[in-house]
Amino acid sequence: MDRAATGGRPRVGLAVVRGDSMRPTLRPGERLLVSYGARVRPGRIVVARFADGTLAVKRVAERRGSGWWLLSDNPDAGVDSRHRGAVPDADVAGVVRGRVWPRPRLL
């Protein structure tokens, strides 16, 4: 489905944080509002799929070649682009807009 099918607005959904890789920003069990089809920019938090199929919540560091370099906020936990390389545009599922649970806030 493209933006034309949704009236020009990106689709939205929820994601659940698993693991400690995004601490202190995000904690395990938090629910996130994700905007699918939104523009990816450095500094934003995204939901992306690494080449091995792992779906992860990571922060966009920079553009590298034809993909995005994604990093954990907690570099001692989890896997990110330092381990798996850049993530192609097509594998960045969506941009996190905010936390909806336990305490709503924009990100």
pLDDT in tens, 2-26: 444 556 666 999 999 999 999 999 9
**Per-domain boundaries in the chain:** 3-101
Q: Give the pLDDT score at 78.
A: 87
Q: Give the pLDDT score at 4.
A: 47
Q: Residue 34 contacts by C-beta under 8 Å, 6 or more apart in sequence?
A: 12, 13, 14, 15, 47, 93, 94, 95, 96, 97
The architecture of the domain spanning 3-101 is Ribbon (2.10)
Positions of the chain with pLDDT lower than 70, given as ranges: 1-10
